Amino acid sequence: MYAMSNLGKNTIAMVLAGGKGERLSPLTIRRAKPSVMFGGKYKIIDFVLSNLFNSGIKKVYILTQYRAYSLSKHIRESWGKWTGLGEFFVAISPETNSECEEWFKGTADAILQYLRFVESTDADYVAIFGGDHIYKMDISQMIEVHRRNRADITIAALEVPVQEAKRFGVFTVDDDSRVIGFTEKPANPEPIPGRSTCFASMGNYIFSTKKLIEVLQNGKKKHEDLDFGKHVIPMMLESGDKVVAYNFNDNIIPGMKAEERGYWKDVGTIDSYYAANMDLIHVSPQLDLYNYKWPILTNQGNLPPAKTVFDEDDRRGQNIDSYVCAGCITSGGTVRRSILGPRCKVNSYSLVEDCILFENVNVGRHAKLKKVIVDKNIVIPEGTEIGYDHDEDRRRGFRVTESGIVVVSAQTRYEM
């Protein structure tokens, strides 16, 4: 039997990080979804990479595609540099692939285009994970379940209420969690035996290496847009391969709080992205970023501490119930229930409430922002008000969601 550390050493990972994230537009006009900021200083992709790193899996290929430059730069300057494992965190893109000029046509096609990396490895297992979700997971526990069951593929599964399962790909399982059926967004989801919940696919897989090579080579003969959910899993079920569901609720990481068990967020829309970020500033957030036994790693940068300036009756620099990153200066303004990315400046007499500011945002004097997401490097001119009159916000070219969140992006042509 493998020790847990050996399971990581006998596994390579392929991270699918090519998503456009169109529902997060305009934040994704010039960057891929995995490259979007989360929690002030992190990128969304840092969560899956931290899970892999903390689980002892340190041979990782990151498959990029759409607007890959900023993501590749982040990987190169953080994961490739400070881990000391530069050659093990490799971002590769079809745009730079001399053997194939085509973009990925499906999730499995992305792996197929780089099957040579799998074929050349001596690893027993291949972990294929998405790069655009927020969660913590000890992946070695999932690999152990895969090994113990002698499975061909093990699929990470969320346990969700029946009424919510209609939005997912849903597994039908037997009493031993062996998958016997799979349906995309079923009208009448079949619950787990003996429960009132369903198993929904998280899009994360552990394959036995030889089986992965076999099914992808067979699949490319039948499907040009080869996809794990649409094609590979149904093919494996049809051929009698052993497909096992792994219940994500069973995964326990060191230092985990009870309320964090099963935490997994898609953050695929502006509203869900905003809500997940805002949860971080609560007294007891569901996602604990202060668990030093399972750290979320990223490029820390060489920045000075955050500071507040001025303490006068009419001009007081203060951050209240907020999450403020390094390099920020709150200079005589008020920040309340907000997240400030690195190097932001909030100037005198200004008010920032319920907002998310990306890196290097400068809020001018007497400006007022409420429920606003501001993209990086934007200057909010003196006296500007955003988030108080949504008709005016739309006239300026900002995106306003149905729930009243305003997005100010670098690509928006607006008149302040």
- Co-location of 358 and 253 in the same domain: no
246: domain CATH number?
Answer: 3.90.550.10
Confirm or deny that 9 is annotated as ligand binding: no
Position 83 pLDDT exceeds 50: yes
Residue 414 domain-assigned?
no
Residue 294 domain-assigned?
no
- Co-location of 124 and 192 in the same domain: yes
Residue 289 domain-assigned?
no
Confidence of residue 279 (pLDDT cuts 50, 70, 90): very high
Across 95-109, 249-263, 321-335, 349-363, least confident range: 95-109
Q: How many domains does the chain have?
A: 2
- Co-location of 82 and 222 in the same domain: yes
CA distance 188 to 165: 9
Assess contact for 382 and 398: CB atoms under 8 A.
Answer: no
- Is the peptide bond preceding residue 34 cis, with omega within 30 degrees of 0? no
Residue 108: its pLDDT value, please?
86
Count of C-beta atoms within a 10 Å radius of residue 236: 23
Position 104 pLDDT exceeds 70: no
Residue 258 domain-assigned?
yes
Position 233 pLDDT exceeds 80: yes
- 3-state SS, residue 197: strand
Stronger pLDDT, 343 or 230, i.e. the higher one: 343
- 3-state SS, residue 69: helix
CA gyration radius for the chain? 23
Give the mean pLDDT of the chain. 90
CA distance 75 to 53: 13
Residue 98: its pLDDT value, please?
38
Confidence of residue 140 (pLDDT cuts 50, 70, 90): very high
Stronger pLDDT, 169 or 370, i.e. the higher one: 370
Residue 82 domain-assigned?
yes
CA distance 91 to 15: 9
DSSP letter at 68?
A: H
Residue 301 domain-assigned?
no
- Co-location of 184 and 257 in the same domain: yes
CA distance 261 to 412: 39
Confirm or deny that 185 is annotated as ligand binding: yes
Residue 85: its pLDDT value, please?
59
Confirm or deny that 184 is annotated as ligand binding: yes
Spatial CB neighbours of 96, under 8 Å, sequence gap ≥ 6 = none
- Co-location of 261 and 349 in the same domain: no
Confidence of residue 3 (pLDDT cuts 50, 70, 90): very low
Confidence of residue 415 (pLDDT cuts 50, 70, 90): low
Residue 163 domain-assigned?
yes
Question: Tokens for 109?
Answer: 């096609």
- 3-state SS, residue 248: helix
Residue 288 domain-assigned?
no
Residue 99: its pLDDT value, please?
45
- Residue 72: its H or E element: helix 68-74
Across 60-74, 102-116, 260-274, 398-412, least confident range: 102-116
- Co-location of 273 and 328 in the same domain: no
- Co-location of 189 and 325 in the same domain: no
- Co-location of 143 and 38 in the same domain: yes
Assess contact for 398 and 408: CB atoms under 8 A.
Answer: yes
344: domain CATH number?
Answer: 2.160.10.10
CA distance 327 to 42: 15
Assess contact for 352 and 333: CB atoms under 8 A.
Answer: yes
Residue 47: its pLDDT value, please?
97
Nearest to 294 by CA among 42, 47, 17: 47
Count of C-beta atoms within a 10 Å radius of residue 73: 13
CA distance 228 to 202: 12
- Co-location of 256 and 378 in the same domain: no
Nearest to 409 by CA among 380, 382, 388: 380
Structure confidence by residue, pLDDT tens digits, 316-372? 999 999 999 999 999 999 999 999 999 999 999 999 999 999 999 999 999 999 999
Confidence of residue 73 (pLDDT cuts 50, 70, 90): confident
Q: Which domain holds residue 326?
A: 307-408
Rounded to an integer, the average pLDDT of 192-212 is 94
* DSSP H helical ranges for 106-220: 107-113, 115-119, 139-149, 162-165, 209-219
Confirm or deny that 348 is annotated as ligand binding: no
- Co-location of 272 and 314 in the same domain: no
- Is the peptide bond preceding residue 161 cis, with omega within 30 degrees of 0? no
Rounded to an integer, the average pLDDT of 309-317 is 95
- Co-location of 357 and 314 in the same domain: yes
- Co-location of 259 and 311 in the same domain: no
Stronger pLDDT, 382 or 302, i.e. the higher one: 382
